[in-house]
């Protein structure tokens, strides 16, 4: 079973992401965190195969900082990261990819696009 960590400060968006991935319920175990600090703690605990990570979160760490820290953790070198953001400028996307993201999705996005991205990053799903 693949481990997926959903990180967003908005509970409604976490719920939407869960719902979007419902068709994989027998192949994915979903975990949640509501801020960057909690995300890093949960990532160390569950060692996710994929992290769906909001860029703009309140608190000490934003999504870009979390992404960089995930990339610095040897145990998570194989973890795939999808950044989720309303920021859609080319420079925003470049900054996200430079932070170590495997994909960058601009909000709002369709559940189908999320599913396609997850399947591309976890091909053995």
The model's pLDDT over 48-94, given as tens digits with 9 standing for 90+, comes to: 999 999 999 999 999 999 999 999 999 999 999 999 999 999 999 99
Its domain, for residue 31, covers: 2-121
pTM of the model: 0.97
Give the CATH number of the domain where residue 14 resides: 3.40.50.2300
Total domains present in the chain: 1
State the Cα–Cα distance between residues 84 and 76, nearest whole angstrom: 19
The model's pLDDT over 12-57, given as tens digits with 9 standing for 90+, comes to: 999 999 999 999 999 999 999 999 999 999 999 999 999 999 999 9
Of 19, 80, 73, give the one whose Cα is nearest residue 53. Answer: 80
């Amino acid at each position: 079973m693949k481990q997926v960590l959903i990180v967003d400060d908005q509970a409604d968006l976490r719920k939407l992401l869960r719902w979007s991935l419902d068709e994989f319920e027998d192949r994915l175990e979903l975990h949640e965190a509501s801020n960057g600090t909690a995300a890093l703690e949960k990532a160390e605990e569950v060692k996710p195969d994929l992290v769906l990570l909001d860029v703009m979160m309140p608190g000490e760490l934003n999504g870009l900082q979390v992404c960089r820290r995930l990339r610095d953790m040897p145990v998570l070198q194989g973890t795939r990261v999808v950044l989720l953001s309303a920021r859609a400028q080319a420079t925003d996307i470049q900054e996200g990819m430079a932070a170590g993201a495997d994909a960058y999705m601009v909000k709002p996005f369709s559940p189908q696009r999320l599913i396609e991205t997850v399947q591309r990053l976890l091909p053995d799903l």
